[in-house]
Amino acid sequence: MSQEIFAKLTNSLVDGDPDATFEATKEALAAGIEPMVIIKEGLIPGMNIVGEKFSCGEYFLPDLIIAADGMQKAMTLLEPELLKRQQAIESAGTVLLGTVKGDIHEIGKSLVGTMLTANGFKVHDLGVDVPTETFVAKVKEMKPDILGLSALLTTTMVMQREVIKALTEAGIRNQVKVMVGGAPVTRSWAEEIGADGYAEDAMGAVQIARQLVAK
């Protein structure tokens, strides 16, 4: 019985049907399945398949966004249940995310945030056009494991270097792993500016984040 529901959950995400994800989550809870099990056995496998299809070019950005929407709908039902049971989703680590100053691109960053959340990371999203000093202040305050810097323009990409420089000057560079991404960003740029990791898409970001936290 529960295997059927897990398959329904996974398939609803892969098929891009958020309403079906919501209904299957409701059904799973009604069947007495623990919320944590619903996440691990039904939702995460679905998000992973969507991520793989995106990575190999079979799915595109809208497919990822729809799957992420399904995941969020499911979480609106599951989070109150987890709280009731005093269970927190076992955190894989804390990530602070933001698009650098001068850049107002939202979608890529938000997608990375959603995929990281779906994979057990606690994500704090600072939004877009974030000043360098805000990144530094928030790293001091929140002590995240990872800082994710997004830039979608060649003109704003240089701000990623500025943030890393500012962290060094503040004496906290060694306290946080820095991950960079965005359309013009390359692995060689990440190395040049002294970032710890680089990902070209949201699934890649999840893999890199896992590696950085494990180090």
Per the structure, the count of domains in the chain is: 2
Model pLDDT for residues 171-206, shown as the tens digit of each residue: 999 999 999 999 899 999 999 999 999 988 887 899
Average pLDDT over residues 22-26: 97
The mean pLDDT value for 127-145 works out to 97
Choosing from 84, 112, 135, the residue where a domain stops is 84
How far apart (Å, rounded) are the C-alpha atoms in residues 140 and 169?
13
The 3 state secondary structure assigned to the chain is: CHHHHHHHHHHHHHCCCHHHHHHHHHHHHHCCCCHHHHHHHHHHHHHHHHHHHHHCCCCCHHHHHHHHHHHHHHHHHHHHHHHHCCCCCCCCEEEEEEEECCCCCCHHHHHHHHHHHHCCEEEEECCCCECHHHHHHHHHHHCCCEEEEECCCHHHHHHHHHHHHHHHHCCCHHHCEEEEECCCCCHHHHHHCCCCEECCCHHHHHHHHHHHHHC
Residue 108 and residue 75 share a domain: no
Determine the average pLDDT of the residues in 14-39: 95
Q: Give the residue numbers spanning the domain of 59.
A: 2-84
- How far apart are alpha carbons 21 and 90 in whole angstroms? 22
Does residue 159 surpass a pLDDT of 70?
A: yes
List CB contacts of 131: < 8 A, sequence separation 6 or more: 101
Do residue 78 and residue 123 come from a single domain? no
CA–CA distance, 58 with 125 (Å, rounded to integer): 28
Please identify, among 84, 105, 125, the residue that sits at the C-terminal boundary of a domain. Answer: 84
Query: Quick check: 169 pLDDT over 90?
Result: yes
| Residue 65 confidence class, pLDDT cut points 50, 70, 90 | confident
- Which of 67, 84, 101 is the last residue before a domain boundary? 84
CATH of residue 177's domain is 3.40.50.280
88 pLDDT exceeds 70?
Answer: no
Q: Can you give the pLDDT at residue 89?
A: 67
71 and 97 both lie in a single domain: no
Please name the amino acid found at residue 148: G
The answer to whether the beta carbons of residues 131 and 104 sit under 8 Å apart is no
What pLDDT is stored for residue 164 in this prediction?
Answer: 98
**Residue 120 and residue 208 share a domain:** yes
Residues 142 and 197 in one domain: yes
Mean pLDDT of 135-147: 98
Q: Which residue has the higher pLDDT, 201 or 41?
A: 41
Domain match, 24 and 115 both: no
